[in-house]
Amino acid sequence: MSDLESHHLRQSFAALQPADILSAVESLGYLSSGHCEQLNSLENRVYDVRLEDGRHVVVKFYRPGRWSRSAIQSEHDFLYELQADEIPVCAPLRLADGQSLHEQAGIFFALWWRTGGRCLDELGVRQATELGRLLGRIHNVGARTAFQSNGRLILNQQSYLIEPLQYLLENDWPAPEYRHAIEDSALDLARLYEQAAADIPLLRIHGDCHIGNLLHSNEGWFFLDFDDCLMGPAVQDFWMLLPGRLVESEPIVNALLDGYRLFRDFEPGWLGLIEILRAMRYVHYSAWIARRWHDPAFQQAFEHFNTGEYWQNLSQDLRDQLDSCQSAVAPHTLDATIHAGGTEWQANDDTEALENSAYFYDWTDNGSDPD
């Protein structure tokens, strides 16, 4: 695709109107009532459309250039595998011909039945045990085969840290006074991850499993938004569910593992990746914003991004995470022993509990999550 074509698609995506949404839905044989409401999403364009019969569908238009057709189809196919195993995921609608991915004016889109439920503010032990069981089942399906060469990421230091870092540096995003500090910390973290993850198996995982991508209702849990599914370590689907750092999250960690191990093994040493993954996400997330800075919605949502303060904070946070990760690998710092009741933690760490901003650099006081 030429630069001109890419620019045209980006403009069309940014200019999507309700009439375009209703036309897309009706092109698939569904009759709309004319009601169309945009839902909260920055990465994609997502709408709630009421049909004439009173039912609702959710329409997702995928951001052009983010995923190829084959990559999106692999997401859908993974969801159908999970659904076939009666795992509560929200899978897209398939037409009579089996198609789930459609195209309008060069932009990919898909439909889902609207699912009721709410996002919880935090997890209790019981909810964490339930989620642990479901994650164990998801990972059992994910381990059956790998994503093929279709544009789906393999989570490693290159894809999740080095490449995003290179994009930021090559496009002069970090303020000059923090550029070298950010680069040095990121490269040290990359070496730590390469060493720590050397023998940890990779499988198909959700990839972005935080509480904002979970719905809870009287029927139980539903997992949403597999856009970022990838080949990665199982612990990637754990750490964003924790209320703080690993050493501060003993009850939730134990509950997740107790549920998970009913269906699948989990080595305690894998938990050592958590703080490195957290730091890698800082850089990955910053590059995600930078790549979309041409979108006015991103400039409005992340007003602080293009400021010296942002890069100062990122530089300091990476340094703090690097120090934490280097101390955490010392044998005397974290001692995990497995017993019949779960995992018993003894830790030497006095770090304060993390806020939501430790997971999302764009987190605002009203708790809005962009994706």
- For the chain, give the longest Cα–Cα distance: 64
Short-list 298, 275, 316, 325, CA closest to 174: 316
Report residue 239: phi and psi, to 5°.
-70, -30
Average of pLDDT values for 257-265?
98
Own/partner pairs, 224-228, CB within 8 angstroms, 24+ separation:
224/89, 224/90, 224/115, 225/371, 226/75, 226/78, 226/79, 226/89, 227/43, 227/44, 227/62, 227/67, 227/75, 227/371, 228/153
Single-letter residue type at 64: P
Average pLDDT over residues 244-252: 91
349 band by pLDDT with thresholds 50, 70 and 90: very low
Mean pLDDT of 250-269: 97
Catalytic residue check, 97: no
Q: Is the pLDDT of residue 226 over 70?
A: yes
For the chain, counts of helices (H) and of strands (E):
11, 11
* Closest CA relative to residue 110, chosen from 54, 147, 67, 154: 67
H or E stretch at 204: strand 203-205
- Which residue has 């060493």 as its token pair? 195
Tell me what the pLDDT averaged over the chain comes to. 88
- Per-residue pLDDT reduced to its tens digit, 145-188: 999 867 899 999 999 999 999 999 999 999 999 999 999 999 99
Q: What is the DSSP letter of 89?
A: B
* Domains of the chain with bracketed CATH: 14-113 (3.30.200.20), 125-345 (1.10.510.10)
| Residue-level pLDDT at 8 | 82
**Separation between Cα atoms, residue 303 and residue 299, nearest integer Å:** 6
For this structure, is 350 an active site residue?
A: no
* Catalytic residue, candidates 225, 228, 317, 362: 225
For the entire predicted model, the pTM comes to: 0.86
| CB burial of residue 219 (10 Å; 0-12, 13-18, 19+) | exposed
Catalytically annotated residue among 3, 53, 208, 228: 208
Are 157 and 284 in contact by the 8 Å Cβ rule? The answer is no
pLDDT tens by residue, 121-151? 889 999 999 999 999 999 999 999 999 867 8
Taking 70 as the threshold, does the pLDDT of residue 282 lie above it? yes
pLDDT band at 5 (very low <50, low <70, confident <90, very high): low
